[in-house]
Amino acid sequence: MSSYQQSIKSQNKKQILQLIIDHAPISRSAIAKQLGMAKGTVSSLSTELIGSEIIYEYGPGSSSGGRRPLMLLFNEKAGYSIGIDVGVNYIMGILTNLRGEKIAEQKQTISVHDFDYMLPLIIQSIQKLIDASPPSPYGIIGVGVGVPGIVNHQGSILFAPNLGWEQVDLQEELENAFDVPVTIENEANAGAYGEKKHNSSSHLSDNLVYVSAGIGIGAGVIINGEIYRGEKGYSGEFGHMMIDMNGRKCSCGSVGCWEMYASEKALLLEAEKVLDSAEGLSLESLIDQAEINPKVTSLFTEIGDCLGSGISSILNVFNPQKVVIGNRLALAEPLLSEPVKAAIDRHTLNFHKEQAEILFSSLTPYSTSLGASHFVTERFIATNF
């Protein structure tokens, strides 16, 4: 077979597999019809895919009403993918099948961010997820990691200000430790992808911004169905959008950054002042206290106001169909929702707010880990079949 024929064959096979992933159960003749391929081609390529155990056939065969065709299905249990969300105060890891369904999870709360301290914790978390994976033809197909920082196209973490990491090669460390492909992504990009792929209400949104509001703030921007990464992969650092030229000092070296006013970090710093104590302060404890302490309620109102004001800039610039607010602050939706919406209403251009839908993520806290795991699965499918 010539290399040209090889490449046509491989393209056809990919198309068949993708159709089965998207539309299973589906018969061979329906595939032939939809893709405009000869039945013989579909038949021989699906036999190869069945041999690779990435699809399987199922069906009653003949029935009283005549012969019913055998259906082809995607074998989502052919392998398992791992998605890790490295937060500033947590590490969240999930094991998913090839459809992105969660099989197991691992969560740790952390307070120290040195890379040398965190790396063993990340490795431990991955190992536990590997141990939890059922036997399968392809085993662990890879690990995807979302980190709160600037990641270049090669997967190196150049700068993660809230972790204090600079020039860290997490990908190489993890590939050495586990000998599987590792993908590193900015956590907000991974979160945006998680929303796009796994949130049924966002599935059809081709222009979507995911605002990851944790200790810091990042935003993943999906334009025309694709993640916008920028020239070198550095885009999405919305947390460092300046909202006050003479404002609070930020960990990035600048002042007045959005995340100094609208993040979990800002909430905790302000709460410390208002409550005169940092003891036992956490987002969760503040959510509880807000029910009884009006001072704490108004802290959330202030944070929501700043969060909404920043989102209005995103709406004015990108005109997305949808903005999804995710990560830790989404846990405070009942307290933030009103002030966020009021601020957006005040600051957004009329045309831009007409159709924009603003919602809190229903995938919280899994948006980033799901997206990271999905990147791995897509790469596995693209390179192996």
SS3 375: helix
For 379, the token pair is 């790469």
Selected range binding Zn ion among 66-74, 202-210, 245-253, 268-276, rule: CB under 5 A:
245-253
Residue ranges of alpha helices (H) inside the chain are 3-23, 28-35, 39-51, 115-131, 170-178, 187-198, 259-262, 264-275, 283-290, 294-318, 333-347, 350-353, 367-384
DSSP assignment, residue 329? G
Nearer to Zn ion, 238 or 366 (CB): 238
Selected range binding Zn ion among 27-35, 131-139, 149-157, 256-264, rule: CB under 5 A:
256-264
Nearer to Zn ion, 61 or 253 (CB): 253
Does position 265 interact with Zn ion (CB under 5 A)? The reply is no
Does position 381 interact with Zn ion (CB under 5 A)? The reply is no
Nearer to Zn ion, 13 or 240 (CB): 240
Q: CA nearest 267: which of 308, 301, 293, 299?
A: 299
DSSP assignment, residue 135? P
Bridging pattern class, strands 357-360 and 322-326: parallel
Question: Angle at CA 369, nearest 5°, toward 368 and 372?
Answer: 85
Q: Least distance to Zn ion from the beta carbon of 121, Å?
A: 26
Q: Least distance to Zn ion from the beta carbon of 252, Å?
A: 3
Sign of the dihedral through C-alpha 142, 146, 368, 315:
negative
Q: CA nearest 77: which of 136, 129, 132?
A: 136
Selected range binding Zn ion among 30-38, 55-63, 98-106, 253-261, rule: CB under 5 A:
253-261
Interface with Zn ion (CB under 5 A), residue total: 5
Nearer to Zn ion, 182 or 250 (CB): 250
For 140, the token pair is 């662990």
Bridging pattern class, strands 80-86 and 140-147: parallel
- Position among 28, 197, 240, 374 found at the interface with Zn ion (CB under 5 A): 240
Does position 250 interact with Zn ion (CB under 5 A)? The reply is yes
Residue 111 identity (one-letter amino acid): S
Per-residue contact flags (x/-) with Zn ion for residues 192 to 231, judged by CB under 5 A: ----------------------------------------
Contact 325, 337 (CB under 8 A): no
Nearer to Zn ion, 250 or 271 (CB): 250
Q: CA nearest 249: which of 266, 234, 264, 237?
A: 266
Nearer to Zn ion, 68 or 248 (CB): 248
Nearer to Zn ion, 156 or 254 (CB): 254
Q: Least distance to Zn ion from the beta carbon of 144, Å?
A: 26
Q: Least distance to Zn ion from the beta carbon of 250, Å?
A: 3
SS3 226: strand
Residues in region 15-74 near Zn ion by CB under 5 A? none
Rg (the chain; Cα; Å): 23
Nearer to Zn ion, 180 or 257 (CB): 257
Residues in region 284-303 near Zn ion by CB under 5 A? none
Does position 252 interact with Zn ion (CB under 5 A)? The reply is yes
How many helices (H) and strands (E) in the chain? 13, 18
Nearer to Zn ion, 181 or 256 (CB): 256
Q: Least distance to Zn ion from the beta carbon of 115, Å?
A: 20
Does position 257 interact with Zn ion (CB under 5 A)? The reply is yes
Q: Give the interface with Zn ion as residue ranges (CB under 5 A).
A: 240, 250, 252, 254, 257
